Amino acid sequence: MLPKDSEFDSGLFTAACIVMTLGFPWVAFALAIWGIPWMWEEALSSYAGWGWGELAILLTGFALYPWCYSTLLFTWAIRGKPNEARAAEQIGGIHLTHCGFLLFWLCFVGSTCYTWWGGMFGIGMEPEGWYWALFIPALMLTALALQGPFWGLFLIFHGTEGARNHTTTEAVTQPLTVVQINCGGGLFSEIWGNKDLSGEPKVSGVDPNIEINWGGGGPPGVGVDQFSIRWSGFLLPRETGSYTLETSNDDGVRLWLDGQLLIDEWYDQVGKHQATAELEAGDVYDFRMEYYENGGQAKAKLRWTKPDGTYEIVPCAVFSPTKPDTPSTIVLQAVKSGEILTDRLNWWD
């Protein structure tokens, strides 16, 4: 399934088509000049040809690189290019998979490990009991042989947490709070030096959630009065049911969910306002909240009452400033030396 907000990248698509087209004569050259089919025939005809198998895998990988890259570019063009760390992992995964098959052939075929399993279980040969003495070595060699292909494919299709969550940033409205970004983390924040969010914002970044109380102060670099903030991103509820969203604000506030204006209290005030929404677990909802401060105290908080009755500040765990890879996300928080450290873990559905 494609992300709802994915944008087709015509430049990447064109590059993918060019690389794919160049791959055809390159493969033809490899087949005709390098004699790859003959190498495979020698490699598969007898154990004596296992060395030809190593060379066949090496050259086959070189021949297929253009098509591997074009497939990657097609994917990025349609689904969106990942961050630099994930892109590097996917490219590295292609090469690691290639090297992994070389290791697999060496460990599984070159060591005759495949015959050990055949002798134990009668695969392609008559079973012989003494082969069971090689069970542990066979198990270890097989595990080693599979490491390269496994981790190569892992990097291509999943990747490491550090690459998916490779960026940290200090929260805009919450001093000493560090947000770990996973294709986001929290909400995108923009701050203007006026009450009506006009012109270019003076400050922008990411906040873990909406929980500010500056008293008579204000955000750094903007001032103590006459400013406005917009938080935007996506809401990912974990439970299905009726939610009551509640703003606590001084002064004006507006809140949209999936394009629907739920709270519209855009005037000087000190108050709380509520709105009810029916949400589905696993769905992704567009979220936006705007706030302005005219003078005096400055406060903006967003709480909710969940279907199970829990009343709390809407946590970072259910927000993302950009469309996340998957709603299956957990946020861990810890306090160290006065800082709130926020981390985010993902896994695939």
The domains found in the chain, sorted by start residue, are 10-162 (no CATH), 167-346 (3.90.182.10)
Q: Is the pLDDT of residue 184 over 70?
A: no
Indicate the range of 23-27, 54-58, 174-178, 211-215 predicted with least confidence.
Answer: 174-178
**Rounded Cα distance, 45 and 190, in Å:** 67
pLDDT band at 335 (very low <50, low <70, confident <90, very high): very low
Buried b (16+ CB within 10 A) or exposed e, 106-137: bbbbbbebbbbbbbbeeeeeeeeeebeebeee
Residue 329: enclosing H or E segment and its boundaries? strand 329-336
**Residue in 190, 241, 208, 239 with CA at minimum distance from that of residue 320:** 208
CB neighbourhood size of 45 (10 A)? 10
| Cross-strand partners of 293 | 227
**Residue in 316, 336, 311, 110 with CA at minimum distance from that of residue 231:** 316
Residue 148 amino acid letter: G
Buried b (16+ CB within 10 A) or exposed e, 288-327: bbbbbbbeeebbbbbbbbbeeeeeeebbbbbbbbbbbbeb
In the chain, count H helices and then E strands.
Answer: 7, 16
**Rounded Cα distance, 239 and 243, in Å:** 9
Q: Is the pLDDT of residue 141 over 70?
A: yes
**Rounded Cα distance, 241 and 33, in Å:** 65
CA 132 from centroid of its chain's CA atoms = 44
Length of the chain: 349
pLDDT tens-digit profile of 263-303? Answer: 999 999 999 999 999 999 989 999 999 999 988 888 999 99
CA 13 from centroid of its chain's CA atoms = 21
- 């800082």: which residue's tokens? 339
Half-sphere exposure of 274 (CA within 13 A, CB side): 8
Instruction: Report the predicted TM-score, pTM, of the whole model to 2 decimal places.
Output: 0.50
Q: Is the pLDDT of residue 48 over 50?
A: yes
For helices 50-79 and 10-29, the axis angle rounded to 10 degrees is 160
